[in-house]
Structure 1
Amino acid sequence: MEKTELHIEWERRIEDYESSGYTQATWCSINKVNVNQLKYWIRKIKGPKRNRSTKSKFTPVVVTEPPANESMEIKIGQASVGIRPGFDPAFLADIVRTLKTLC
């Protein structure tokens, strides 16, 4: 069975999406593609998620102890968050999760 031009085009788009580093939503917005179409073609071409080998993307983290009574800065992508002694760890975790989805 030969691949149709549409199938070949979606293989190219999926390769472009995967190499972009963007989230599906961001890539689709930039490329004016419906995110549900992208998801459909990924499943059609690559099969169910559980059968695919996935590449994990890790962000290197360096943990250092800040001097007492001083603030620290956390950078995620182009964003930075200032942290002072007595901060709320749960609130910081929410901020980090939000920034990770945007970067």
Structure 2
Amino acid sequence: MTKMKLQSLRQTWEARVADFRASGQSGAAWCTAKGLKPHQLSYWLHKFPPHESLPAASPHTDWVSFEWEHAPSETTTPLLIRVGQAVIEVMPGFNPTLLTDVVRALSS
């Protein structure tokens, strides 16, 4: 096949693929209506992925300013640590050194 014929075939199928995607029909129904074979459509669908037919995105990006303040929750749930029969409630802002000493003392 000559380069001109290949280019013509590609343009024909590019238009057909666009028509199929716009139709909303199943591949089989669209092919039956157009007198084409489903495997041909399948082949050309892979040649023309959907993103190729979309316009190129603008390289310009608009940024939006956003400020967020994390307010401490009024209802904090404690972390419960069980060591043997003892249960320790650990709240935010706890002293890690003290917790370590308490757990060691309860474990011995």
Q: TM-score, normalised by structure 2?
A: 0.40
Which structure ranks higher in relative contact order (CA pairs < 8 Å, sequence separation ≥ 6)?
A: 1
Q: TM-score, normalised by structure 1?
A: 0.42
